Amino acid sequence: MAAFQAVSLCRVSDLIKSKQDQSLSSFEKEQAETEKKEKTRLQMDFLLYRDEKGKFADFHCLRHTFITNLGKAKVSPKMAQTLARHSDISLTMKIYTHVDQEEQIEAINLLPSLEPENETE
């Protein structure tokens, strides 16, 4: 019985080693492909600030536009903070939310009149 167990353990050990070798080989192949794709990506100018033709895209300014548009859409400041993934509401409100002069005028015009109402007796 002990000899049978020893043979079975050897087979199990060989099977485990074979599976480990296959997994390692698969991992190494996957890693090589990943490195090759990364190298190709790094050679592309797709995500560069300025491409070879001199065109540029400032993706960061899109964050300002996005968050400002959330404010114009009357989205709550907390929701804008969450969507911007900011940890501090003051960053969202002070830096990324912009209010133009027309919006300020509209807000002031919403205030009630300060002129006394004529009371009729």
Q: Quick one: three-class SS letters along the chain?
A: CHHHHHHHHHHHHHHHHHHHHHHHHHHHHHHHHHHHHHHHHHHCCCCCCECCCCCECCHHHHHHHHHHHHHHCCCCHHHHHHHHCCCCHHHHHHHHCCCCHHHHHHHHHCCCCCCCCCCCC
pLDDT digits (tens, 9 = 90+) for 54-112: 877 777 888 999 999 999 999 999 999 999 999 999 999 999 999 999 999 999 999 99
CA dihedral in degrees (98, 100, 104, 107; nearest 10)? Answer: -70
Quick check: pTM over 0.85?
Answer: no
pLDDT for the residue numbered 121: 54
pLDDT digits (tens, 9 = 90+) for 3-57: 555 556 677 777 787 777 777 778 788 888 888 888 887 777 666 677 778 877 7
The domain segmentation of the chain, as residue ranges, is 59-109
pLDDT for the residue numbered 5: 57
Q: How far apart are CA 45 and CA 53, in angstroms?
A: 10
